[in-house]
Structure 1
């Protein structure tokens, strides 16, 4: 296969991935590529046009960084895709003339909460966008018949220590205690007794 044909195939693959991403594809999760802030555990596909050896899938490490050829270690947690693209491009410019960098989010595993206890499908839930306690319970298959709906709590780790936030499920589904429908943050654990 000629180098020119390989370059065209790489470009086509990048365009297909870009099209899929723009149609709600950030891991088929509906993440808005412009506003999404990267987190530990997220998966990125980084490509540089006409540089096959620089096509690489990288995961955001627990320290919030990625490692990429010629760039080295780069802190990306909390940045948007556009910001990562710019920073990778700046570092690559030392070695490559006018690099055309593409960065796609291919997995948002870093945006997880855990639902534990008396739900039908306990375990981790990947949040594709803002997610409330009620939505997480729904994604976990709903409460089992023996759950204590008004005793649910969100366990949140903060800089000051652990915090417990009440969720009054039975009241919420009746239109009461709406302030207890907590908006979840990555790393939260929903405890359903």
Structure 2
């Protein structure tokens, strides 16, 4: 019986250790910096796909007009601008209920092109071509640096930094070991970037 109790205690300890190690590494940007697509507010010129289950003729893929609306078969104009995809789907579903029995509607963003989406990620300093590029979901530090053509021969790559503005308007700095990422395959500081991030690569001092 004592052996069983000892095994149970060890298993509990291992489980707690695993849970503790699953959080973000010290100094790593918080994962919550990325808003889910479901919370994204549709903007003018975004392209949306409307699908109605078992009614393919009612499906459309259209850009949002400058007035913030899209035209849906049977029901006409629906306001999409400034609303989430789920909200627009519920609105369409409710209006289609007058024509279709128990409609099941899905609204999917196929292209994010509005000004709300085009928050930039900037790479400056000792890179081949300093750039300001549109943020895309899943983009990492390495993606952004490669878009800048990589670093120059004068770069102090392991002293790079990622700057991120916080909700309270303060700025957090996260050291990036870019030389280890590029030359050693050490991805521990290859953070996912967020809209508005700035990555700086300093030059070596001689």
TM superposition score normalised by structure 2: 0.52
Give the superposition deviation at 1:165: 0.7
Give the superposition deviation at 1:191: 1.6
| Residue 47 of structure 2 is aligned to residue 44 of structure 1 | yes
Paired position in structure 2 for 1:175: 184
Give the superposition deviation at 1:138: 1.1
| Compared CA separation, residues 176 and 43, structure 1 to 2 (3 A) | same
**What secondary structure, in the 3-state scheme, does the structure 2 residue paired with 1:184 have?**
coil
Give the superposition deviation at 1:163: 0.6
Match of 1:119 among 101, 117, 127: 127
| Residue 146 of structure 2 is aligned to residue 143 of structure 1 | no
| Compared CA separation, residues 152 and 144, structure 1 to 2 (3 A) | same
Paired position in structure 1 for 2:110: 105
Question: Which entry has the higher C-alpha Rg, 1 or 2?
Answer: 2
CA distance in 2, matches of 1:191, 1:142: 12
Paired position in structure 2 for 1:28: none
Give the superposition deviation at 1:179: 2.7
| Compared CA separation, residues 121 and 91, structure 1 to 2 (3 A) | farther
Paired position in structure 2 for 1:190: 199
CA distance in 2, matches of 1:133, 1:140: 11
CA distance in 2, matches of 1:114, 1:142: 13
Give the superposition deviation at 1:87: 3.1
Match of 2:138 among 115, 130, 138: 130
What is the aligned residue count? Answer: 147
Paired position in structure 1 for 2:64: 58
Paired position in structure 2 for 1:71: 79
Unaligned runs of 5+ in 1: 1-34
**What secondary structure, in the 3-state scheme, does the structure 1 residue paired with 2:173 have?**
strand
Asked if 2 retains the 8 angstrom alpha-carbon contact of 1:43 and 1:107, the reply is yes
CA distance in 1, matches of 2:122, 2:79: 34
Unaligned runs of 5+ in 2: 1-35, 70-76
TM superposition score normalised by structure 1: 0.55
CA distance in 1, matches of 2:42, 2:134: 13
**What secondary structure, in the 3-state scheme, does the structure 2 residue paired with 1:120 have?**
coil
